[in-house]
């Protein structure tokens, strides 16, 4: 895989994590200030959505890089097993 793509994916993932941290701090402040429950839940759901997008970004990179490399190296079973484990967490 092109090294520049890895850096881009990594930087995008780190950027998303920083945004998520900011949202988590907001939820903490909202709880400390006894803000309206529904507003807190909206913020929480935004965090969950952001985490899902982070997961998709990482999985996309994994499929394009790691899985392709594993298949080329005859490790199809490993790739399949790892991906199936990801979907067990639902």
* Tens of pLDDT, residues 68-90: 999 999 999 999 898 888 888 65
Total count of domains within the chain: 1
What is the pTM assigned to this prediction?
0.78
Calpha distance 3→82 (Å, rounded)? 23
| Per-residue pLDDT at 24 | 97
Decide: 78 and 70 in contact? Cβ < 8 Å.
yes
- Determine the structural domain holding residue 49 and report its residue range: 3-88
For residue 56, is pLDDT > 70? yes
Dihedrals phi, psi of 34, to nearest 5 degrees: 55, 45
Average pLDDT over residues 5-34: 92
The domain that holds 17 is classified in CATH as 1.20.58.1000
Q: What percent of the chain has pLDDT over 90?
A: 73
**Per-residue confidence (pLDDT) for residue 1, from 0 to 100:** 44
């Amino acid at each position: 895989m092109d090294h520049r793509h890895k850096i881009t994916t990594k930087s995008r993932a780190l950027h998303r994590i920083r945004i998520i941290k900011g949202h988590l701090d907001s939820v903490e402040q909202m709880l400390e200030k006894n803000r309206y429950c529904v507003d807190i839940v909206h913020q929480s759901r935004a965090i969950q959505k952001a985490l899902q997008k982070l997961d998709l970004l990482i999985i996309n990179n994994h499929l394009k890089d790691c899985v392709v490399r594993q298949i080329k190296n005859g490790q199809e079973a490993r790739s399949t097993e790892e991906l199936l484990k990801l979907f067990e967490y639902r």
